[in-house]
Amino acid sequence: MSAEEMPLLRETGSPASADNNPPTGGGCQLPQNIGHRGYKAAFPENTMAAFRGAVAAGAHAIETDLHLSRDGVAVLSHDATLKRCFGIDKKIADCDWEYLRTLQTVQRPCQGMPRLADLLEWLAQPGLESVWVLLDIKLDDDPELLLAAIARAVGSENYVHLARALLPSFPLAYIGFSLVYAKRFLSDAHPDVHFNLFQPVLVGPLGARFRREVRRRGRRLFVWTVNDEQWMRWSCRKGVDAVVTDEVGRFADVRDGLDQESVGGSDGGAGEGKMVAVARNRRRGDVGGPLLRKVGLYVKAFVLQGAALLFTVLLWHRLSTRGAMGRRRLKGKPVLDKT
């Protein structure tokens, strides 16, 4: 297994460092390709077909979402309800697995809802040893039941404390859209927390400062959900560790083009062919005028930053208190993690 294929997050006690996956340029590694809900652009999301398709298209990892059924089975679904993907107006938490397993997606080709166990069983097959999983833990379920049943982490600061107590060997990542809230985890009190952030909030001077601090502290930084080729190339230039994308094949092409560009021309005719591939990627991403398009992308990013700040203010209480009761219950119990 090459260094580029290695899972980016290690067990607690083996902190990641910038040296393991340096910024792109001059032969350094490019960001890993993470399939958002599998290969969402080509298959029904969070299905085994989407996961298989993502790996076939070049994904290094699978991003997926977890909820609990009424009988405590960890199932893979972004939504807490069945309405959007399965056309049924019910909550997952109100259904047993025996019922959920009979459902088929509205989107074709119709697929069933998998369990976390189904995904892990598939990944245990020979030839898939290098594929790793990024689990997005939602806040809809009870945090203690969720962490105990799913054996993964993290949705808020209080989830971090629960995860450290219940699951001390699992790496943690804050998944969110708020730089203000994410900064809470850059302190020495949380040396084992990495970041999976909404890509637009990392654009501009504030984002650059946060990226530098993450790199200085040896943490990992993923960005979501990046489907535009210009932002894909931006992510590569800025040295993020992984890109979560619906367009797994498109990002694989961008990675290949940038990787080839760094060595293009070194092998005669082959180098010329590589540079043609890079030019094709650029033309496809810059239709409508490169400068005007770039300005539009940055304006949109700054508008989204403003929206993210507003949502942070509105949701601050929920972010700060979700899971707090579980943390109080854990007082007096041994915590194996020494941080």
Query: What are 282-317's pLDDT values in tens digits?
Result: 444 444 467 888 888 889 888 988 887 787 777 666
Q: Which residue has the higher pLDDT, 175 or 282?
A: 175
| 32-36 and 61-68 strand pairing | parallel
337: Cβ–Cβ under 8 A, 6 or more apart, which residues? 12, 164, 165, 168, 192
pLDDT of residue 149: 64
- Given a cut of 50, whether residue 156 has pLDDT beyond it is no
Report residue 127 as tokens.
């030839």
Residue 89: Cβ within 10 Å count: 8
Q: At what angle do helices 48-56 and 116-123 cross, to 10 degrees?
A: 30
Give me the helices (H) in the chain, please: 48-56, 83-86, 97-100, 116-123, 143-150, 157-166, 179-182, 205-216, 229-237, 248-263, 269-285, 290-321, 324-329
Q: What DSSP assignment string belongs to 27-84?
A: TBPPPEEEEETTTTTTS-TTSHHHHHHHHHTT-SEEEEEEEE-TTS-EEE-SSSBSHH
Please report the pLDDT score of residue 150 as a whole number: 58
Q: Which residue has the tokens 């367009």?
A: 247
Say how many Å lie between the first and final Cα of the chain, rounded: 30
In Å, what is the CA distance from 136 to each residue of 248, 285, 329? 18, 29, 24
Give the SS3 label for residue 127: coil
Per-residue pLDDT reduced to its tens digit, 208-261 = 999 999 999 999 999 999 999 999 999 999 999 999 999 999 999 999 988 766
| Interatomic CA distance for residues 215 and 28, integer angstroms | 15
- H or E element in which residue 195 lies: strand 193-198
**Is the pLDDT assigned to residue 196 strictly greater than 50?**
yes
What is the residue type of 50?
Answer: A
Report the C-alpha gap between 39 and 317 in whole angstroms: 34
Look at residues 290, 291, 258, 296 and name the one whose alpha carbon lies nearest to residue 274.
Answer: 258
Virtual CA dihedral for 247, 253, 259, 263, nearest 10 degrees?
-170
Domain formed by 28-64+133-329, architecture? Alpha-Beta Barrel (3.20)
